[in-house]
A and B are shown apart, each in its own frame.
Chain A
Amino acid sequence: MHVVIVEDQALLREGMVALLAEHGIEVVATAEDGPGLLRIVDGYKPDLAICDVRLPPTFTDEGIRAALEARARHPTLAVLVLSQYVEPAYTAELLAGGESGIGYLLKERVSEVGTFVEAVRQVADGGTALDREVVSALMRDRTGRSDAAIMIESLTTRERETLELIAQGRSNAAIARELVVTLGAVEKHISSIFTKLDLPADDDDHRRVLAVLAFLRATAEGGPGPLSG
């Protein structure tokens, strides 16, 4: 797996390179700003870009813009955005830029090393990994207004919890650990979720992404659409 990192803070950049190296993930290049990301993406054709949101020169949202631009140029590039804040607007923009290979995590999740590395692999493989804070913000009680919302509402509490964890990019084993249930029980929940969301039998990874998207569409209703620029 070829990974590039865009982070203007050397302390974090070097820390992440070391952390990923310890888990056998090679960082092929690093950059400090948006144009740097586009340069190394064009040059190294990596599988995954890990990207900070606030970058020079204005320290606002260059990271998001650069990541979207990189995705537009290389649609197969997976992008994992790290931020000190979680904003629904950015989530919407990122998801509008593609259906899979998208992650959006709070920076401090990096310290939960096992989970973080799992999320990195998940996103690089075309999955979705959203921070539990984004997910819980979206998950808060909203009255159903569409088919997708009604389908989500038909889920049991356990199934919702499972879906939340899938949206965070967890594997079945990790979900079983988190919910303190057996792997078999998790598989049962997941197959029930697929049935309730009316997802066709396909390979499981694809269905997982579709379930997450259905969930996001249902819960993000009434919020902002993708912002331009």
Chain B
Amino acid sequence: MSVGYLRQREPALPWRERTMGDPAGLLACIAALIVLVVGISTRSYQPHWPMVAPAVLLGVALLAGPVVSHLADRSLSHPARVAAMVAALAVLVLGLWNAPIWASRWPELDPAVILGVALAGRPLVHVLRQRSIERSAQFVASLAALVAVVVSGAYVFQPRWQAMLVAVLLSGGMAAGPAIWRLGAPWSRLPVERACAVAALTVLVVALEHLGYWGPKWPELVPAALLGAGLAVAPVIQLSRKWSLEEAVWLASAGGALVVLVVAIGQGVVPSWSLTIAAGLVGTGLFLGPAARHLAVVWPGGTVETGTAVTALVVLLCGLASAPYWTPRWPELVPAVILGAGLAVVHLHAWLGSGPRERVLSARVDQLSRTRRGALDVQASELRRIERDLHDGAQVRLVALSMKLGRAEERYRHHDAATAALLREAREDATAAIRELRELARGIAPPVLTDRGLLAAVHSLAHRSGIEVRVSGDLERRPRPAVETAAYFVVAESLTNAVKHAPGAAVEVRLDERGGDLLVEITDFGPGGADPSGGGLTGLRQRVEALDGALHVTSPAGVGTQVEAVLPCMW
């Protein structure tokens, strides 16, 4: 039994369940509100309260992000999206309004602002340009980073430029990560990843060189460095080891945290150790979260989650114990605390909630997932075997029969016209049977798919479709048969739909590896307005979801239709 069998992605939930069932989202929103109210009403913090703004912006954007991106596919004018955008804009305006306070310290806000702008701005760009959310995020982040670099250059804020780089690294890693994976094919993936890795390493080296400047304050950079390093190094690790993105991020950030801890202890930065802990809390919460859930399935019993929850609690207690040191400076910890607390509660909740019943259920889910996968694999191989048997058995006999009938027809043609005509009819019947059998076999398992793989089969579909189809893709490996067949039928059905509903429109088909997933994307520039709950699309969705994949249909009227299937492969 392969470990891979046990790694299952979280099932796609309706957004309502995702948000309502996610205590982190709830807690972070409450925390953000409390911080906002306290920050505004506490007189002694009045000059400091704008520091709260980045925290809130960050928190709202981060937590609303998944919800927003999810909703973006459904309705473009959903209240939640609008609310998130309005909140982000309000905070931005407040931040600008309080600019004088920040005049001397503004670079410290860069990481939060760039990140916040990128995350909050992408729905806006998505609306404006009707493009994919990842592309929008990358666009906004690049723009924000560019603006930040230009502005800081203008202020000749030389001693602080490292902070800027860290911020850029941070936002670049976060926003560019998914975008890089997505855009990998057209931009030829490897160079982009390598450039990203080289940039990240350069920044890290530069930051280390300037330790002298940051001397007593360097721990303040820790959260950003940790985040950025984790996110920027992840693609490299994944590239070299073909690991999942989650595993790679987890490894990179764990390594980063360890280095930071050792350096902090070695430098004897005693009063600042709490900051390191706060950073650790953020890092742990953010990174161990997905990884823990991921690994918890591999090591049943929730030991990883338990450990994470305990660690988070210890860190929280340590932070409280060192409260006197932080008293005059506590707002600086707010972003870390909001984020960390929200995420730590997720683990705590999972830990407390995982009683014997849950463990039994979890084991059962594992078993069912494994057997379902096995059943689908067997089914796919069986279908291919049936196709081969038809080819080698019935089809051969029919061809031999029609050949003999043809020869007999030749012999009778000149002296017995009636018999020749009868033989001709018999031959034509045999040929019709061969044709029907061929279509049947093709519908079961297209031979070109078995012989040449997905890309060739999709090219063949494109050829057969009778419309202009541009196929792009870069698959280095072949997915297992069940996944390959599902991907094939997604393309086949989508092309049939495009021929039917968008005649004359250009169609693009893209096949790509993204992490451990196979990405299949069919875009037509036709009239749009497709009903995602229509018969054909529902059939496809069932096929894809049976493989733990997800099918998204975006079809704004007047723009076109995009069908996107993400199929986990584990290769």
Contact = CB atoms under 8 A, between A and B. Distances in A.
A87 B448 CA distance: 7
Contacts of B440: none
Nearest to A227: B456
Given A11-B400, A84-B438, A227-B456, A108 B431 contact: yes
Nearest to B504: A143
Given A84-B438, A89-B452, A12 B463 contact: no
B78 to A, nearest CB: 38
B406 interface: yes
Contacts of B410: 22, 113-114
Interface in A71-101: 84-85, 87-89
A143 to B, nearest CB: 6
A103 B405 CA distance: 23
Which of A114, A142, A222 counts the most B-chain CB atoms under 10 A from its CB? A222
B464 interface: yes
Interface stretch (B138-146, B391-399, B539-547): B391-399
Given A9-B396, A85-B438, A111-B430, A137 B403 contact: no
A38 interface: no
Interface in B407-427: 407, 409-410, 427
Interface in B372-394: 388, 391-392
Interface in A43-65: 54, 59-61
Contact of B392 (A9, A22, A223, A227): A9
A112 interface: yes
Interface stretch (B179-187, B465-473, B474-482): B465-473
Given A15-B400, A114-B410, A223 B462 contact: yes
A102 B427 CA distance: 26
Contact of A107 (B399, B404, B468): B399
Contacts of A174: none
Nearest to A142: B468
Q: Which of under 10, 10 to 19, 20 to 34, or 35 or more describes the interface residues of A?
A: 35 or more
Interface in A104-143: 107-108, 110-114, 116, 137-138, 140-143
Chain B interface SS verdict (over half): helix
B448 A85 contact: yes
A89 to B, nearest CB: 5
B451 A60 contact: yes
Nearest to B430: A111
Contact of A12 (B400, B451, B452, B470): B400
A116 B403 CA distance: 11
Contact of A111 (B397, B427, B450, B452): B427
Interface string B517-552: 000000000000000000000000000000000000
Given A89-B460, A142-B468, A12 B396 contact: yes
Contacts of B7: none
Contacts of A22: 407, 410
Interface string A138-164: 101111000000000000000000000
A176 to B, nearest CB: 19
Nearest to A133: B435
Contacts of B359: none
Contacts of B427: 111-112
B402 to A, nearest CB: 4
B501 interface: no
B442 interface: yes
Contacts of A107: 395, 399, 434
B516 interface: no
Contact of B452 (A16, A61, A138, A141): A61
Q: Which of under 10, 10 to 19, 20 to 34, or 35 or more describes the interface residues of B?
A: 35 or more
A88 B282 CA distance: 55
Contacts of A141: 466
Which of A54, A85, A142 counts the most B-chain CB atoms under 10 A from its CB? A85
Contacts of B23: none
B459 interface: yes
A108 B402 contact: yes
A133 B305 CA distance: 60
A93 to B, nearest CB: 10
Contacts of B448: 85, 87, 89
Contacts of A15: 400, 403-404
Contacts of B464: 88, 137
B447 interface: yes
Contacts of B404: 15
Contacts of A87: 447-448, 460
A11 B460 contact: no
A12 B462 CA distance: 32
B403 A111 contact: yes
Contact of A110 (B392, B399, B452, B456): B399
B471 to A, nearest CB: 8
Given A108-B399, A222-B468, A89 B406 contact: no
A36 interface: no
A211 B49 CA distance: 79
B450 A60 contact: yes
B456 A59 contact: no
A3 B179 CA distance: 57
Contacts of A142: 466-468
Contacts of B447: 54, 85, 87
Contacts of B392: 9, 59
A169 B398 CA distance: 25
B379 to A, nearest CB: 20
Which of B396, B397, B450, B469 counts the most A-chain CB atoms under 10 A from its CB? B396
Contacts of B409: 113
A85 to B, nearest CB: 5
A59 B389 CA distance: 11
A12 B403 contact: yes
A222 B404 CA distance: 40
B396 A11 contact: yes
Nearest to B404: A15
Nearest to A113: B406
A33 to B, nearest CB: 14
A137 B448 CA distance: 16
Given A89-B452, A113-B409, A143 B430 contact: no
Interface string B445-457: 0011011100010
A224 B396 contact: no
Nearest to B432: A108
Interface of B: 388, 391-392, 395-400, 402-407, 409-410, 427, 430-431, 434-435, 438, 442, 447-448, 450-452, 456, 459-460, 462-464, 466-471, 504
14 contacts: A9-B396, A15-B400, A22-B410, A84-B395, A84-B434, A88-B463, A89-B459, A108-B399, A108-B402, A108-B434, A113-B410, A223-B459, A224-B463, A224-B471
* Chain A to chain B: the 9 pairs with minimum beta-carbon distance, closest first: A111-B406, A111-B402, A224-B459, A60-B451, A140-B466, A88-B463, A113-B406, A11-B400, A15-B403
Given A87-B448, A110-B399, 7 more contacts: A12-B400, A61-B452, A85-B448, A88-B459, A107-B434, A143-B504, A227-B456
